Amino acid sequence: MIAFVSGPVAALAPDSAVVEVGGIGIAVQCTPNTLSGLRTGRPARLATSLVVREDSLTLYGFADDDERQVFELLQTASGVGPRLAQAMLAVHTPDALRRAVATGDEKALTAVPGIGKKGAQKLLLELKDRLGEPTGAPAVGAPVSQGWRDQLHAALIGLGYATREADEAVTAVAPRAEAAGGTPQVGQLLKAALQTLNRAR
């Protein structure tokens, strides 16, 4: 297993980063939150999880070991693959997921694209004793659905855009986010924002 990758960031895209390790560029799939903390040309260390399929080897990257552990635990639930597990971590922090499961918060899980009411109920049952207790203090203030602007803005800054450009792009995709209802999918909004900046990758 590849536990982590460490090296300068060679490239950033809406859903992945390329980290140079020993002269080799390793592509790592990441959430917008993780990408927002990376800068091209700057050193980075990402905890990783390698997903092996018959036709592919995909490396998923995380800001820390806790996030990676939750990513792997989520996949022990039936019907949860790496993409859905990553989508859950794109919407919620590891502690927010632990809190949702511990309190039976069905609404928090249905905020994740791809999880409906029945799926959320099933996940709450299956994950109840697997994720553990929340380690931090409960989040105070706005619900998760209010955070997409901050997440998107941070991701654009992380990709090298100026604050003004990021502000304009967030404003441009706001109608699309509001039309989506519930919690918008930040990854899709990021792609739309890049298109508005004429630098879609």
Within 10 angstroms of residue 41's Cβ, the number of other Cβ atoms is 10
Strands 43-53 and 24-29: unpaired
- The confidence score (pLDDT) of residue 155 equals 73
Q: Is residue 132 part of a domain?
A: no
- The confidence score (pLDDT) of residue 7 equals 96
| Tokens coding 8 | 């300068």
- Which 3 state secondary structure label does DSSP give 52? strand
Same domain, 48 and 31: yes
Same domain, 54 and 104: no
Q: Is residue 23 part of a domain?
A: yes
Contacts of 104-108 with C-beta under 8 Å, sequence gap 24+, read 108/144
Q: Is residue 199 part of a domain?
A: no
SS (H, E, C) 116-136: CHHHHHHHHHHHCCCCCCCCC
Question: Does 34 score more than 80 pLDDT?
Answer: yes
Same domain, 56 and 89: no
Q: Is residue 139 part of a domain?
A: no
Same domain, 10 and 54: yes
- Asked if residues 126 and 78 have their Cβ atoms less than 8 Å apart, the reply is yes
Tell if the pTM clears 0.75, that is, is over it. Answer: no
- Which 3 state secondary structure label does DSSP give 159? coil
Same domain, 70 and 58: no
Residue ending a domain, choose from 62, 83, 100: 62
Q: What is the mean pLDDT of residues 36-49?
A: 94
Same domain, 169 and 116: no
C-alpha neighbours within 13 Å on the C-beta side of residue 8: 7
Tens digit of pLDDT for each residue in 116-150?
999 999 999 999 888 887 766 444 433 444 467 77
Please, what is the Cα angle at 185 between 181 and 190, to 5 degrees? 125
Rounded Cα distance, 27 and 5, in Å? 10
Domain that holds residue 104: 66-127
Residue ending a domain, choose from 62, 79, 103: 62
- The confidence score (pLDDT) of residue 136 equals 60
C-alpha closest to that of 115 among 87, 142, 92: 87
Count of domains in the chain? 3
Q: What is the mean pLDDT of residues 63-67?
A: 92
